[in-house]
Amino acid sequence: MSAPVLDIRDLRVSFRQDGKITEAVKGVSFSVGRGETVALVGESGSGKSVTALSTVQLLGEAAEVSGSVTYMGREMVGAPEAQLRAVRGNDISFIFQEPMTSLNPLHTLEKQITESLALHQGLRGAKARARVIELLTKVGIRDPEERLGAYPHQLSGGQRQRVMIAMALANGPDLLIADEPTTALDVTIQATILDLLADLKRDEGMSLLFITHDLGIVRRIADRVCVMQGGEIVEEGPTAEIFANPRHPYTQKLLAAEPTGRPGPVKPGAEEIVATKGLRVWFPIQRGFLRRTVGHVKAVNAANISVRAGETLGVVGESGSGKTTLALAVMRLISSEGPIVYLGKDIQGWKTRAMRPLRRDMQIVFQDPFGSLSPRMTVEQIIAEGLGVHGTAPGKDRRQMVSEIMAEVGLDPAAMERYPHEFSGGQRQRIAIARAMILRPRLVVLDEPTSALDMTVQVQIVDLLRDLQRRHGLAYLFISHDLRVVRALSHKVMVMRAGDVIETGEGDAVFDAPREEYTRALLAAAFNLTPSAAIEEA
């Protein structure tokens, strides 16, 4: 056998802060062979990302690293900075989970990708531009020539991640380390990216270290699996063997963690909470000195929805399909055209003052709980903020109400004096849910509330949302690209594409017998991970 591209032996990483030492990685050993894909699997906090960053010493001064990390026989631990710079982004490249934190908001796509080409290959001018267009095409960016001058904020989440992948592939690395690169992507885009990575691995002999908590991806892409828990590898072996015969209880727990079951039945004669008819959201395209409107971005076209008390409407579709825009329009947070009937009253066109009493009844839970929670406020202050805004409870009652809602969503009320950074991702999402639920809303928009969470935590949040709906008769507008979660939560499903409603129906009917080719492509990508070519044909 040839020497491995990456060989890690007895890697130990600890962090020293305020006189305390936290051991994040505890004696990890594994290797990645040439042309091999190794998946590093585990929940948040297991040490996966710290292990990956240790390969080229990107952990910062607070980290204390020992053991051995060799790339092509060269030791990386304690290596001179010049040697590490030559390897980073050239021989070993990274793709991270959140592209907005990795892309420079002040630079165009062309400038950001060209920077790497100039640094490592000396490419500039027309040659660099041709290479950038080639890379953007390869990762599935449509009309790449027109996108060269775009900035990150002008792209969808999926498009930004594709740009990150193009940057990582720019210099033809020997080893690509992909840290949760598809977590926030649509299922069709996910399948396309996984196919792309598999093709590159095959055609260029590239090795891949794939970090994820999604075992469906692992089953498809990995040759070997290393399962991490608490900074240690608790099980390692060929992918087929790990899936067929997991030995460690933690591995068994991960494999069993998938949202199952169906939502409870909607009560006969349940009241219709919200409905729209022909709802339209068009954003004007303005050009010229006088900013004349020359066209429109048709974000939502003629959407008809109806959600009753105790019912969930799942809205699915790729990035840019109009899912979130539809929800914001229903909540009257952006301008739209067409009736929006809330509890029997058309609220389209209502002024801010008239809408204010309804805001208590209409709440949102966002995708990223950390980004939507103020780091300067305690959990009690965060959850109780809505009570103060709406004047729904005297000050002396608020603490008791916070305590009760925290217990209801599975949080310890004794932790209400703590701050968001002191909680795990799943706990932060429970805080966000508690903040919405304390106002006892009638309608809750759930915008990708589980996509950033570990699989085991996803199951817990799905169970929690179903339980809250059953007890309080909540109407949910549930937006997600994770069709497994949509099936577990939704009574009805709406499929959107490029602003149009492609298909609507009862959940089981849409999942078991989809009428439209696009819906079938989405389901195939989600449950079977069929080749992306078939999806593109659909």
The pLDDT tens digits for 297-313 are 888 999 999 999 999 99
* DSSP state string for 14-52: EEEETTEEEEEEEEEEEEE-TT-EEEEE--TTSSHHHHH
Reference 158, options 190, 196, 133, 136; nearest CA is 190
Using a 10 angstrom Cβ sphere, with 0-12 exposed, 13-18 middle and 19 or more buried, the burial of residue 108 is middle
Rg (CA), the chain: 25
If you ran DSSP here, which 8-state letter would residue 153 be given? Answer: G
Pull the structure tokens for residue 463: 């169970």
What are the start-end ranges of the E strands in 224-353?
Answer: 224-229, 232-238, 272-287, 292-308, 312-316, 340-342, 345-346
Range 277-302 average pLDDT: 84
Question: Does the pLDDT value for residue 188 go beyond 80?
Answer: no
Confidence band of 529 (pLDDT split at 50, 70, 90):
very low
- What is the pLDDT, as a whole number, of residue 528? 57
- What is the pLDDT, as a whole number, of residue 453? 79
What angle, rounded to 10 degrees, do the helices at 455-472 and 249-256 form? Answer: 50
Pull the structure tokens for residue 318: 């790729």
Question: Does the pLDDT value for residue 185 go beyond 80?
Answer: no
Higher pLDDT, 180 or 512: 512
Confidence band of 394 (pLDDT split at 50, 70, 90):
low
Q: Over the chain, what is the mean pLDDT? A: 87
CA angle 156, 515, 221 (to 5 degrees): 50
- What is the pLDDT, as a whole number, of residue 1? 53
d(CA 264, CA 469): 9
Phi/psi region, residue 111 (left: phi>0; alpha: psi -120 to 50; beta: rest), is: alpha
Task: Tell me phi and psi for residue 479, to 5 degrees.
Answer: -105, 130
- What is the pLDDT, as a whole number, of residue 71? 95
* 3-state SS, residue 423: coil
Q: Among 189-203, 308-322, 397-411, which stretch is predicted with the lowest mean pLDDT?
A: 189-203
Question: Does the pLDDT value for residue 392 go beyond 80?
Answer: no
Residue with tokens 């303005």: 286
Higher pLDDT, 522 or 451: 522
